[in-house]
Amino acid sequence: MISADAIRGYVDLMVLSLLRPGPSYAYELAQRITAISGDEYAIKQTTLYSAVKRLEASGLVSSFAAMSPSGKPRTYYRITDAGLAHFDLKVEEWRSTKSVVDRFVDAASEGVTP
């Protein structure tokens, strides 16, 4: 199970990636994040909600009210052009973060087993 602290900076990236194919609502997003993460990470509703609202405030997603297929009124979120650009930026950032951290991890594991 990944700690909430470790993954916090990348919840925005997850939400944006899920919104790329089309609009969605908060519960569906939470469910898909949990499903894709397997049992490694279960997102808290408040974490997701604040991420979505933060993205909305920065203009990276926009919201609109609509009926879900089950007939329940829901707030849907749609990624904006700025959001698409931000997503590419975040992906780039993640790749370099990952590669930097990997260098330390690899060096450490090579040190243990020469």
Partner 1 sequence: MNVIIAYLETMFSTYPQTTRLLEAKAELQGMMEDAYTNLIAEGHSENEAVGQVIRDFGNLEEVAPVLGIASDISAPPAAASPSLAPDRSHPPVTLEEAQGYAAAQQRIRFRVSTAVMLFVVSPALLIVLPVAAESGMLPITDTAGAFIGLLALFVLVAVGVMTLVAASRETAPYKRITEKRFAADPSVTRWAEALAGEHERRRISALQLAIGLWILAPMPLIAFALLLDGSPQAGFWSVIGVVLVLVIVAAGLGVLLPQTWAHTVAGELGAGTAATSSHDEHNIAGVIAAFYWPLLAATYLAWSFIGNAWGISWIVWPIGAVLFGAIAAGGGALESYRKAQR
Q: CA angle 30-57-37, nearest 5°?
A: 20
Q: Which is nearer to partner 1, 38 or 114 (CB)?
A: 38
H/E element, 79: strand 73-79
Shortest reach from residue 71's CB to partner 1, in Å: 13
* Structure token digits, residue 93: 């950032």
The answer to whether 30 contacts partner 1 (rule: CB under 8 A) is: yes
What's the CA gap between 31 and 15, in Å, rounded? 11
The answer to whether 19 contacts partner 1 (rule: CB under 8 A) is: no
Instruction: Count interface residues toward partner 1 (CB under 8 A).
Output: 19
Q: Interface residues with partner 1 (CB under 8 A)?
A: 26-27, 30-31, 42-50, 53-54, 57, 72, 74-75
